[in-house]
A and B are shown apart, each in its own frame.
Chain A
Amino acid sequence: MAPVKLDITTRKINAKTSILDIRGEVTGSAESILMAAYAEATAAGAQAIILNFGGLEYMNSSGIGLLVTMLIRIQREKQRLLAFGLSDHYRQIFDLTQLDKAIGIHPTEAAALAAAG
């Protein structure tokens, strides 16, 4: 298994919203870290999970698969998934893989928080 080069910090913004600050590489090896961060946000009562991709350095197709399975889990829990901080390159990848149709993509943290309500 390739070494995991990912760090995620969970920030509780308010009772219903948490931001996951992603720094590093999102690949198939990142599953346990990503899901642990999601579980932490959910345990804190988050109804809206916002992914901050400003520190994303690398992502492969297994990483996209991971985001898809996370999205499904979030939808099943009646939560919402939003994102900001995507570079033009990663926006294109979200377009290619159609993740942008299911995840609310926003240009800034303020916009994502406003959309989260």
Chain B
Amino acid sequence: MSEPTSQPATQLPSRDAANWAKPVDGLKVGAISPEATNLNVEGKQLSGPLAGFGQMWQKTYRIRLSGADVTPEQVIKLWKENFPQFWPKGNRFFGGVGIEPGQVAVLNLAGPGGLNAPGGGPLISTGIMVIYADDESFSFMTPQGHMFAGMITFSAERAAETTCAQVQALVRASDPIYEIGFRLGLLKEEDRFWKYTLTALADFFGVHGAEPDLKIVLVDPKVQWAQAKNVWHNSAVRTGLYTLAAPVRWIRRLAK
């Protein structure tokens, strides 16, 4: 048995201090485009991978930028600056400029093939908070009601003389409704989403026809019944109700 260790009396600032967001009591959406359907974000708590309901998955999507003369830092810089433009059609990311720790963005998500709700609104309005960002990576954490409870990390690195870009999700379905959806095929839709994103990113760097790899690990096969109550925050249900109530809002506006 060896001697106990103790914490240093004086704490020096950590090298990563500027890369991390500060803890928040509730999310606050800053100034975003009026085009956004801003629901299910303001005031919500963050919901990490331990707070979700469904099985926990680690999914790693990776693409090699073969032939592109770019460093990981250049990839991340341009990815941050142009993040929304790589998403599949119909899906919108409303944040500020770039990607900074603490930034909150509203997501307006479409269904397969860019399918929107009647009237052109999103099928799901939810959000993310940027919890970490450095020169080679950045990470989002999801709020209550998002389809996933967890973290998604975007990164780039050199491997075998080639720069690779990667998306890694460590997530559970937030609630039982989403879990059923994922088991019925929505997880595949998530795969299509991030593969499309990486392919579009590769195109941006002049790498055409590259195919992303996908590695899937089932981290926890159990569901967490104690988190079934998360269904109260379900952003798909809440966005659907908002869409259904649109005629009532129109009538009220006309009556004023």
State the A residues within 8 Å of B (CB): 1-2, 11-13, 21, 28, 52, 54-55, 57-62, 64-65, 68-69, 71-72, 76, 84-85, 87-90, 92-93, 95-99, 101-102, 107-110
Which one of B19, B24, B220 contacts A60 once the chains associate, using CB atoms below 8 Å? Answer: B19
Q: How far is the CA of A114 from the CA of B245 in the complex (A)?
A: 56
**Contact between B141 and A97 (Cβ–Cβ < 8 Å)?**
yes
Number of interface residues of B (CB under 8 A): 42
Give the distance to chain A from B139, nearest Cβ to Cβ, in Å. 4
Within 8 A of A (CB), among B20-69: 20-24, 46, 48-51, 56, 58
**Contact between A89 and B17 (Cβ–Cβ < 8 Å)?**
yes
Q: Check if B13 is an interface residue, CB within 8 A of chain A.
A: yes
Query: Inside 8 A of A21's CB, which chain B residues have their CB?
Result: 5
**Contact between B131 and A61 (Cβ–Cβ < 8 Å)?**
yes
Q: How far is the CA of A87 from the CA of B175 in the complex (A)?
A: 34
Query: Inside 8 A of B155's CB, which chain A residues have their CB?
Result: 28, 62
Which one of B132, B134, B170 contacts A68 once the chains associate, using CB atoms below 8 Å? Answer: B170
With A2-B157, A60-B16, A90-B14 given, is the CB distance from A96 to B131 under 8 Å? Answer: yes
**Contact between B168 and A65 (Cβ–Cβ < 8 Å)?**
yes
Q: How far is the CA of A98 from the CA of B137 in the complex (A)?
A: 21
Which one of A54, A64, A88, A109 contacts B151 once the chains associate, using CB atoms below 8 Å? Answer: A64
Q: Could you list 7 further interchain pairs (A-B, Cβ under 8 angstroms) beyond the known A92-B22, A96-B21, A110-B4? A: A57-B15, A85-B6, A90-B14, A93-B20, A96-B141, A107-B7, A109-B6
Query: Inside 8 A of A92's CB, which chain B residues have their CB?
Result: 20, 22-23
**Contact between A72 and B14 (Cβ–Cβ < 8 Å)?**
no
**Contact between A87 and B157 (Cβ–Cβ < 8 Å)?**
no
Q: How far is the CA of A16 from the CA of B116 in the complex (A)?
A: 55
Q: How far is the CA of A69 from the CA of B150 in the complex (A)?
A: 12
Query: Inside 8 A of B13's CB, which chain A residues have their CB?
Result: 89
Give the distance to chain B from A13, nearest Cβ to Cβ, in Å. 6
Query: Inside 8 A of B4's CB, which chain A residues have their CB?
Result: 108-110
Query: Inside 8 A of B48's CB, which chain A residues have their CB?
Result: 68, 97-99
**Contact between B219 and A11 (Cβ–Cβ < 8 Å)?**
no
